[in-house]
Amino acid sequence: MTTVLLIWSLCARAEEPAAPAAEPAAPAAEPAAPAAPPPAPGARLGEPVGELGQQGASSRRAQGEREAKAASRGRRASPAAGEPPSNDLWFAAAVVGALCLLGVVYFWFRGRQRTLRLPEGVRRIPDAGLFGAGTPGLAPGLSQWVVADEDRDKLLDRLVTEIGGLRPVFLLAEDSAAVSSGRVGPLYRAAFDKPAEFHDAAYDLQDAHPSLALVLGLPAARGPVAEWAREVHADFPVLAIVAQAVPGEGAVVRCTLTDAGWSFAGEPAPA
């Protein structure tokens, strides 16, 4: 009986599963690395931290300062709207203002030379007729001397000789018009094709000769006498030699050359 029990216990132990073999012991763990400090506030993911990060931040700050200084220099070089203009602009404005002032003063004095204001109690005696009663004198104004075409040059010579003994003369006539030199005062001559050129020249000569008289030899091709004398007849004696008078443009003198000499018949200017 005892033997049977012993055999039965041995068989039971043989049928139990064997215990798993013990796993080899894990190697000793290496010491853990110190945890990295948390990223600085405002740092972006992936940016280096520590000493390298500090160097990168310093480099960025230096670059930002350089960009700020460059922008500041650009603003100083190019003033923005609202900033005061540079000294060069002030200088240019001062020069322009000075030139404008000089121009105003020049034309003011020039106008005073052309216009004579008589003092109180003084009156001017009308000029005597240039060729006697009925002919105009040499007071400022326009007179039309009507003559035949074939006698025009002879009348030019007579007028220039007569007036030249009294005052300077500015003659407007083509070069073919024959004029003698029997005169005393200065004689100026031109053959302008445009009235504006004649007007400018007359006023330039008046600066040197305030008593200048104008004699216009106007053939029919030059146009109406009014166009040539409109801007000057109030400041000069203007004697226009024409083939036909223009009504309402100053005194008219009919000039006729006969065997006995010149005959002048004056017509007073309309009121």
What is the number of H-type helices and E-type strands within the chain?
Answer: 6, 7
Q: Are strands 261-267 and 169-172 parallel, antiparallel or unpaired?
A: unpaired
| Structural tokens at position 232 | 């000057």
Give the model's pLDDT for residue 47: 46
> Which of 81-95, 133-147, 184-198, 243-257 is predicted with the least confidence, judged by mean pLDDT?
81-95
pLDDT-based confidence at residue 70 (cuts at 50, 70, 90): low
C-alpha 161 chain-centroid distance: 47
* Closest-CA residue to 241 (of 263, 215, 221): 215
* More confidently predicted of 41 and 210: 210
Q: Which domains occur in the chain, in start order?
A: 141-267 (3.40.50.300)
Give the model's pLDDT for residue 123: 83
Task: Report whether pLDDT(58) > 80.
Answer: no
* Closest-CA residue to 42 (of 56, 63, 22, 31): 56
Task: Report whether pLDDT(127) > 80.
Answer: no
Tell me how far apart the alpha carbons of residues 259 and 144 are, in angstroms, rounded to a whole number. Answer: 23
C-alpha 14 chain-centroid distance: 125
Tell me what percent of the residues of the chain surpass a pLDDT of 90. Answer: 17
Give the model's pLDDT for residue 46: 45
**Which H or E run includes 65?**
helix 50-77
pLDDT-based confidence at residue 169 (cuts at 50, 70, 90): very high
pLDDT-based confidence at residue 48 (cuts at 50, 70, 90): very low
For residue 165, count other CB atoms closer than 10 A to its CB: 12
Task: Report whether pLDDT(117) > 90.
Answer: no
Give the model's pLDDT for residue 25: 47
Q: Are strands 213-217 and 187-190 parallel, antiparallel or unpaired?
A: unpaired
Rounded average pLDDT over 121-136 = 81
Mean of all residue pLDDT scores within the chain = 74
> How far from 57 is each of 47, 62, 69, 150, 230, CA to CA, in Å?
10, 9, 19, 105, 85
Give the model's pLDDT for residue 125: 77
For residue 238, the SS3 value is strand
Rounded average pLDDT over 108-116 = 54
Q: Could you tell me the pTM of the whole model?
A: 0.55
Tell me how far apart the alpha carbons of residues 260 and 201 are, in angstroms, rounded to a whole number. Answer: 38
Give the model's pLDDT for residue 27: 47
Rounded average pLDDT over 243-263 = 88
Residue that is written with structure tokens 């083939």 in the block:
243
Give the model's pLDDT for residue 170: 94
Digit-coded pLDDT (tens) for 188-208: 999 888 999 999 999 999 999
Digit-coded pLDDT (tens) for 84-100: 556 788 888 888 888 88
Angle among Cα 179, 182, 184 to the nearest 5 degrees reads: 115
